[in-house]
Amino acid sequence: MSEDVKTQDGEVSTDQKDTKESEVNFDDMTPEEVSAFVEKQKAEVIKLNSIIERKGKIVKDLNERVSDVEDTPDIKKTPDLDEAKRTERLELKVDYDYPDEVIEHILALGGKEALKNPLTKKVADKMAEDIKSQSATDIPSGPQASVDRRIKVSDLKDMSVEEMEKVLPHKEI
């Protein structure tokens, strides 16, 4: 096997001690032998070039396949799902009133066909119920929390004036 070594001049030299070509002495050869050796080397170069070309085509084909796979968008992120998937997603939403999280799980299990299994249907219903109850009990926070909160007269009776000013909308004079 050849090994590249940098010399002091910065040039690359090849150490070919293992190859037969490095043992060839042209001084001891007749012109016919030199010519035959050169023809043999040309044939070897042609053979190696064809191998390189063939391997290059294979690499190019594989790179195109990889780029095709990388260019394929993820189904979840694509708004343009094929018509069957979109229809199935809408049917699950309208017919069963499932939240999006449950629909994703159902589609991963095989879509509406998976709901034919009573156990899968019960699990999907329970997930939907849990998600809906969780969203119903969430206490809002932030700017909308004060808008949505209803204040009762009994609450006002127990509040100080400062607390009432914070809670009730009023004009400052």
Asked whether residue 98 falls in the same domain as residue 130, the answer is yes
Asked whether residue 109 falls in the same domain as residue 65, the answer is no
pTM of the model: 0.35
172 found inside a domain: no
The CA-atom distances, in angstroms, between 19 and each of 13, 24, 51, 147 are 15, 10, 20, 87
91 found inside a domain: yes
Listed in sequence order, the residues at least 6 apart from 151 whose beta carbon sits closer than 8 Å to its beta carbon are 167, 168
Asked whether residue 68 falls in the same domain as residue 80, the answer is no
State the DSSP code for 15: E
Residue 155 has pLDDT above 70, yes or no: yes
Q: CB count, 10 Å around CB of 103?
A: 20
22 found inside a domain: no
> In the numeric block, which tokens belong to residue 149?
């909160």
d(CA 70, CA 6): 40
Residue span of the structural domain in which 122 resides = 75-134
64 found inside a domain: yes
> In the numeric block, which tokens belong to residue 116?
């034919």
- The pLDDT score that the predictor gives to residue 17 is 47
Asked if residues 66 and 55 have their Cβ atoms less than 8 Å apart, the reply is: no
Asked whether residue 79 falls in the same domain as residue 125, the answer is yes
d(CA 147, CA 168): 10
Query: If pLDDT is split at 50, 70 and 90, which confidence band does 163 have?
Result: confident
Asked whether residue 79 falls in the same domain as residue 128, the answer is yes
44 found inside a domain: yes
Instruction: Give the model confidence (pLDDT) of 98-107 as tens digits.
Output: 888 889 888 8
13 found inside a domain: no
Instruction: Give the model confidence (pLDDT) of 33-87 as tens digits.
Output: 889 999 999 999 999 999 999 999 999 888 888 877 665 555 555 455 578 888 8
Given 72, 91, 126, the domain boundary residue is 72
CA angle 59, 68, 110 (to 5 degrees): 130
38 found inside a domain: yes
Asked whether residue 80 falls in the same domain as residue 124, the answer is yes
- What's the farthest any 2 CA atoms get from each other in the chain? 121
Instruction: Give the model confidence (pLDDT) of 114-123 as tens digits.
Output: 888 888 889 8
Number of folded domains that form the chain: 2
Asked whether residue 55 falls in the same domain as residue 101, the answer is no
- The pLDDT score that the predictor gives to residue 5 is 46
* β-sheet bridge partners, residue 5: 13
Asked whether residue 83 falls in the same domain as residue 117, the answer is yes
Give the sign of the dihedral formed by CA 158, CA 162, CA 166, CA 168: positive
